[in-house]
Structure 1
Amino acid sequence: MGAVAEPVVSVVIAAHNEESVIARCLRSLSVSAKPGELDVIVVANACEDRTAQIARAERVRVVETAVAGKAHALGLGDAECRAFPRLYLDADVDLDTESLRSMIKAIDRGALACSPVPDYDLAGVSGLAKRFHRVFERLMAGRRGLSGTGAYMLSQEGHDRVFPLPVVISDDGWVHRTFSASERQSVEGARSVVRPARTVRAVIRRRARVRLGNQELDRLGRKAEDPPLGVGMLGGLVRRRQVGPLDAVCFLTVLLADKMVARWRRSTGKDGTWSADRGSR
């Protein structure tokens, strides 16, 4: 198979202590790629493990920085990119080459931003956490957009709206809210393997981060188009027997707990503190 003269797409992966997953991510991405087709940059930010060495062994470009934080890392990687469109991929998410190409086609057809459809790998997830994830996926069906998929792609025009990326808790939320529904696309032919939080404690921590991230975006003027998830929507799923009563109770309990955790973080001034999400590792 001949080499590609110029890269077709640039890929930026922000990685903080991701030695256990970075090789899997990179191998999935390049499994059927032509030589030179992908321009991949891994940004090892404040790593204390072998993330950078493992990434280099996979023959991708690596940028190292002592500054922790995903938004900063994405900015550094973006500055190294050689091509458009550009994919921004989480280090613990698997996206194969064919899914990547399907996303490129969506951009070529006019989308300013697009994302894959997430497939959740629930291996190793506790029973109660699984109940939460099942309900959440039912509620989010048809309205996820660019958030929560572990990957999003931007055209050059879309990129110019998003970058320079501000230092925010939710980079994918910022991107999602930058585009109208007609400008962004969830690509049915593209799938990302996402590994959600494995324990109820990890789910609550992650959901608290999401809540704080959404509140931050509201303050920055990035208002959500969709209404927030509500009890009425959950009740409808229960009445239609799409969700069991016990699952619904577990879901509501987690929402109450994450609301309390988010409130505590705000009261202690920790709501804007960056931290890596390790709940799915």
Structure 2
Amino acid sequence: MTPVAGVVIPAHNEEAVLGRTLARLLAEAAPGELDVVVVANACQDGTAEVARNAGARVIGTPVPGKAHALRLGDAACRVFPRVYLDADVELSTASVRALAAALARPGVLAAAPVPVWELAGAGWLARRVHRVHDQLIGPRRALAGVGVYALSQAGHDRVFPLPDVVADDELVHRSFTPAERAVVPEARSLIRPARTVRAHLNRRVRVRRGNRQLAELGLPAGEGRLGIRSLAALVGRRAVSPLDAACYLAVLVADRAVTARRRDAISWATDASSR
């Protein structure tokens, strides 16, 4: 059968989680329904073997970098629409179908699922920070931060080949107007965020520096900045508790301090805390 979608999965040392991701992705798929390409990117473990055993096509490269891996996988993919999926994020067959259906609507060039956060195993402070962050970012997230985005052929041609950026999902998000991108309620991505504050701070450093990189490329954030008033509004309507807000502010201060202090080059790395 002709695949309903292609799925590109960049994977850097993801042996521990990739089998779970592929099992969920293919659980309900008919033979040939999805064209799945896994790019084993500078791996030193059994990522490629796990992918082959699950039935995915595998491309290996010794060259590190997520954008590079996405370009390789994209070039090997055979069909549109295309779904770009992080190796540690679970997406069901039904969700891929829903994303493909959304991209068939007139004017929709890019689509993403609604994220579901799996916080089991996260520390109490990390859980509070994630709770507040999701409430702040959720209404404006769209294509970024959910571990998945999907593109029609016209949407793909706007952003590929990707430049060498760290925040590929944010680049894709900023490349489309709100009318051109869709959040698909019938699709869900299961995400396991950082389970410790240290891991969360490491991720936030990458996010901030990735955003700065996009601004230098002429893609500034279009939705404006969130401030203390947004946080106060959440507390005022009891979406989060005052303790949640205080924890978030404390970590936010640390986040900015660490970002200002870190001068090392940003690179693609695996968050071991969520594995």
TM-score, normalised to structure 2, is: 0.97
Task: Report deviation, 1:275.
Answer: 3.0
- Give the alignment of 1:172-211 within 5 angstroms: 172-211=169-208
| C-alpha distance after superposition, 1:144-194 (max 9, x if no partner) | 110011000000000001101001110000000000100001101100000
Query: Identical aligned pairs, as a percentage?
Result: 55
Cα deviation per residue 1:43-66 (whole Å; 9 max; x = unaligned)? 000101000011101111000000
- Would the aligned equivalents of 1:147 and 1:176 in 2 still touch at CA under 8 Å? yes
**Partners of 1:225 and 1:97 in 2: CA distance:** 32
Q: CA deviation at 1:81?
A: 0.5
1:142 is paired with a residue whose SS is helix
Contact 1:112 1:154 (8 Å CA) reproduced: yes
Residue of structure 2 equivalent to 1:36: 32
Cα deviation for residue 277 of structure 1 reads 3.3
SS for the counterpart of 2:273 is coil
Alignment-mate amino acid for residue 94 of structure 1: E
Q: Which residue of 2 aligns with 1:142?
A: 139
* Offset, 1:141: 2.8
Which residue does 1:115 correspond to in 2? Answer: 112
Q: Residue in 2 aligned with 1:78?
A: 74
Q: How far apart are the structure 2 equivalents of 1:199 and 1:159?
A: 35
- Counterpart CA distance in 2 for 1:216 and 1:262 is 14
Kindly indicate whether residue 260 of structure 2 is the aligned counterpart of residue 277 of structure 1: no
Do 1:203 and 1:279's aligned partners in 2 also have CA atoms closer than 8 Å?
Answer: no
Do the aligned partners of 1:212 and 1:271 also contact (CA within 8 Å) in 2? no
What is the Cα-based RMSD across aligned positions, in Å?
A: 1.0
Unpaired runs of 5+ residues, structure 1, are: none
Cα distance in 2 for partners of 1:32, 1:102 equals 13
Is contact 2:102–2:111 with CA below 8 Å preserved after alignment? Answer: yes
* Residue 154 of structure 2, aligned match among 133, 136, 157: 157
Please name the residue that 2:242 is paired with: 245
Count of residues in correspondence between the two structures: 274
Name whichever of 256-265 and 15-24 sits farther off. 256-265
Residues 90 and 191 in structure 2, CA contact (< 8 A), matched pair in contact too: yes
Matched residue, 1:25: 21
User: AA paired with 1:190?
Assistant: A
Shift of 1:274: 3.7
- Name the structure 1 match of 2:223: 226
Give the TM-score taking structure 1 as reference length. 0.95
Aligned equivalents of 2:48, 2:138: Cα separation in 1: 36
Match of 1:255 in 2: 252
